[in-house]
């Protein structure tokens, strides 16, 4: 390994390679569930340097763990504890290479923080709509590697739908120059979609060309209290009918999730009283503010008349709108403060969500009295974060050790019964690898393994993740 490290140092320089000191920021995942030991941390500053690193890894048979902002939730971007895996940090690839206003597209490098990509688009008078709670630290490359979703999938789609082209370095250190800004390009296999969502197991994304959109003239945000999930689904249908494409966000939060925020983050104001379900809606209207408010008020009035909304509050200004969103986005932080929990990032047909939740809530209450279900997420696109916390007085770590496997089995069985997926936007990583092997269609798994062998025959790219 000394020759390998010396070659890396020669190619990357002192700033580009970390071999000693405290590497814990690269070796531990955000949830502190996975802790590893890196051989070293490579920090290339260009695509050419990424390619040089991968050529060296290929020559020396060294496994590589690509890493962006290290905000993942499934253990997909931290090294194992062997001390033989190289962490490949893309954090220094931070340039926005260009914005084509006429083409409504932006090209940025993989290490660009998502919030910075949003800001660059806004400076050009356009919108980059990918938005999630970790946008101040997650990176564009990681968003694409996991096919991130977020809060505006309902209108704009997830990372895959927003991407026009990619630049990717292969396991052998070759560069695929696929940074096309074309909306139509029917020239063979869609390599772009192959790398998006592959979690760094097929290639390393170094840059991407992304779609941009006009900035909405007006955004309005509201909270609505619903007595049941059926009512929330009815409200969603009414919102689609009344608002059409102006409906940008539709989030749900159960009573327990907002009660947890009240306990852990009491400084946050909750405008509505406790309800079985609280919905956060956002309309992004290209018309006037008056038109947007008229649509919103009419929607909520119609919902109240039909009995699917008990109470509602419309944000009166930008500060209130941000406070509403901050309430929703603080649920994961409140959970982190409360201790380890069993996370489920699942997707279901929207029509199946009420029956799934009713079935699972009852099953878990019978399995372990006092168990707490923190259920929230993106109802508009069928994505729930159905998280399970220990009963009061039970240590979170002991709860996970004793019950995680059994609870996962129950939840994922019910997800499959309802025609859903065990991973909506977080990916597979290490956390769900065995579940994927058990539950994925056998032919689908065979095809995935064949693709992995073809593109990474030495199994050097993020080994042990996904497959």
| CATH number of the domain where residue 313 is located | 3.30.70.2190
pLDDT at 37: 94
**Does 313 lie in the same domain as 224?**
yes
Domain assignment present for residue 163? The answer is yes
pLDDT at 286: 61
pLDDT at 344: 95
Number of domains in the chain: 4
**Does 388 lie in the same domain as 311?**
no
Domain assignment present for residue 438? The answer is no
**Does 208 lie in the same domain as 116?**
yes
The label of the residue with tokens 């390998």 reads 4
Angle at 84 between CA 79 and CA 90, to 5 degrees: 50
pLDDT at 295: 84
pLDDT at 292: 77
Domain assignment present for residue 451? The answer is no
**Does 117 lie in the same domain as 201?**
yes
Q: Tens of pLDDT along 111-149?
A: 999 999 999 999 999 999 999 888 999 999 999 999 999
Pairing between strand 218-226 and 175-178? unpaired
pLDDT at 287: 67
Return the structure tokens found at 106: 């932006």
Domain assignment present for residue 148? The answer is yes
CB atoms near residue 32 (< 10 Å): 9
**Does 189 lie in the same domain as 139?**
yes
Domain assignment present for residue 123? The answer is yes
**Of 384, 240, 224, whose CA–CA distance to 309 is shortest?**
224
What is the C-alpha separation between 96 and 98, in angstroms, rounded? Answer: 6
- Which DSSP string corresponds to 113-169? BHHHHHHHHHHTTEE-----TTTTT-BHHHHHHTT---TTHHHH--HHHHEEEEEEE
Residues with pLDDT less than 50, the chain: none
What is the C-alpha separation between 228 and 278, in angstroms, rounded? Answer: 9
Burial of 102 (0-12, 13-18, 19+ CB in 10 A): exposed
Give the DSSP letter of residue 264. H
Boundary of a domain, candidates 301, 331, 361 = 331
What is the C-alpha separation between 1 and 99, in angstroms, rounded? Answer: 42
What is the C-alpha separation between 139 and 137, in angstroms, rounded? Answer: 6
**Does 120 lie in the same domain as 132?**
yes
Domain assignment present for residue 194? The answer is yes
Boundary of a domain, candidates 191, 214, 237 = 214
Calculate Rg over the CA atoms of the chain.
23
pLDDT at 1: 77
Domain assignment present for residue 440? The answer is no
**Does 201 lie in the same domain as 104?**
yes
Domain assignment present for residue 454? The answer is no
**Does 223 lie in the same domain as 131?**
no
Q: Which residues contact 253 (CB under 8 A, 6 or more apart)?
A: 277, 278, 279, 280, 328, 331, 375, 376
Q: List the CATH number of the domain containing 383.
A: 3.30.70.2740
CB atoms near residue 97 (< 10 Å): 14
- Which DSSP string corresponds to 288-336? -HHHHHHHHHHHHHHHHHTTS-SEEEE--SHHHHHHHHHHHHTHHHHHH
**Does 285 lie in the same domain as 257?**
yes
What is the C-alpha separation between 394 and 452, in angstroms, rounded? Answer: 42
The torsion of the CA quartet 121, 127, 128, 132, rounded to 10 degrees, works out to 120
Q: List the CATH number of the domain containing 131.
A: 3.30.465.10
Q: Are 128 and 159 in contact (CB under 8 A)?
A: no
**Does 248 lie in the same domain as 203?**
no
Q: Are 86 and 11 in contact (CB under 8 A)?
A: no
The domain of 258 spans: 218-331
Boundary of a domain, candidates 424, 439, 458 = 424
**Does 102 lie in the same domain as 84?**
no
pLDDT at 453: 97
**Does 169 lie in the same domain as 121?**
yes
């Amino acid at each position: 390994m000394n020759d390998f490290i010396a070659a890396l140092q020669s190619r990357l320089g002192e700033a580009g390679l970390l071999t000693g000191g405290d590497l814990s920021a690269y070796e531990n995942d955000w949830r502190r569930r996975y802790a590893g030991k890196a051989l070293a941390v490579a920090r290339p500053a260009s695509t050419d340097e990424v390619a040089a690193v991968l050529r060296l890894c290929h020559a020396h048979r060294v496994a590589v763990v690509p890493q962006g902002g290290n905000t993942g939730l499934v253990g997909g971007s931290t090294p194992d504890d062997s001390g033989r895996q190289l962490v490949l940090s893309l954090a220094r690839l931070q340039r926005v290479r260009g914005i084509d206003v006429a083409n409504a597209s932006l090209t940025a490098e993989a290490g660009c923080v998502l919030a910075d990509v949003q800001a660059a688009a806004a400076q050009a008078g356009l919108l980059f709509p990918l938005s999630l709670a970790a946008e101040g630290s997650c990176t564009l490359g990681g968003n694409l590697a996991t096919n991130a979703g977020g809060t505006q999938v309902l209108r704009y789609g997830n990372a895959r739908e927003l991407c026009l082209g990619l630049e990717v370095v292969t396991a052998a250190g070759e560069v695929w120059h696929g940074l096309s800004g074309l909306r139509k390009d029917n020239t063979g296999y869609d390599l772009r979609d192959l790398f998006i969502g592959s979690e760094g197991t097929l290639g390393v994304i170094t840059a991407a060309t992304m779609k941009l959109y006009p900035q909405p003239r007006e955004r309005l945000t509201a909270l609505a209290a619903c007595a049941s999930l059926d009512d929330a689904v009815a409200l969603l249908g009414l919102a689609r009918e009344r608002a059409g494409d102006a409906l940008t966000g539709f989030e749900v939060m159960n009573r327990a999730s907002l009660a947890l925020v009240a306990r852990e983050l009491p400084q946050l104001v909750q405008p509505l009283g406790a309800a079985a379900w609280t919905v956060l809606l956002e309309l992004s209207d290209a018309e006037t503010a008056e038109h947007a408010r008229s649509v919103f008020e009419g929607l909520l009035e119609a919902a109240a008349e039909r009995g699917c909304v008990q109470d509602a509050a419309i944000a009166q200004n930008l500060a209130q709108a941000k406070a509403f969103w901050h309430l929703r986005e603080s649920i994961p932080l409140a959970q982190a403060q409360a201790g380890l929990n069993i996370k489920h990032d699942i997707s279901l047909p929207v029509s199946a969500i009420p029956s799934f939740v009713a079935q699972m809530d009852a099953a878990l209450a019978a399995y372990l009295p006092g168990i707490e279900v923190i259920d929230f997420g993106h109802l508009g696109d069928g994505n729930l974060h159905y998280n399970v916390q220990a009963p009061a007085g039970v240590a979170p770590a002991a709860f996970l050790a004793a019950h995680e496997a059994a609870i996962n089995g129950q939840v994922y069985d019910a997800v499959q019964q309802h025609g859903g997926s065990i991973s909506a936007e977080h990916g597979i990583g290490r956390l769900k690898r065995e579940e994927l092997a058990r539950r994925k269609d056998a032919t689908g798994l065979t095809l995935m393994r064949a693709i992995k062998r073809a593109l990474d025959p030495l199994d050097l790219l993020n080994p042990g993740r996904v497959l």
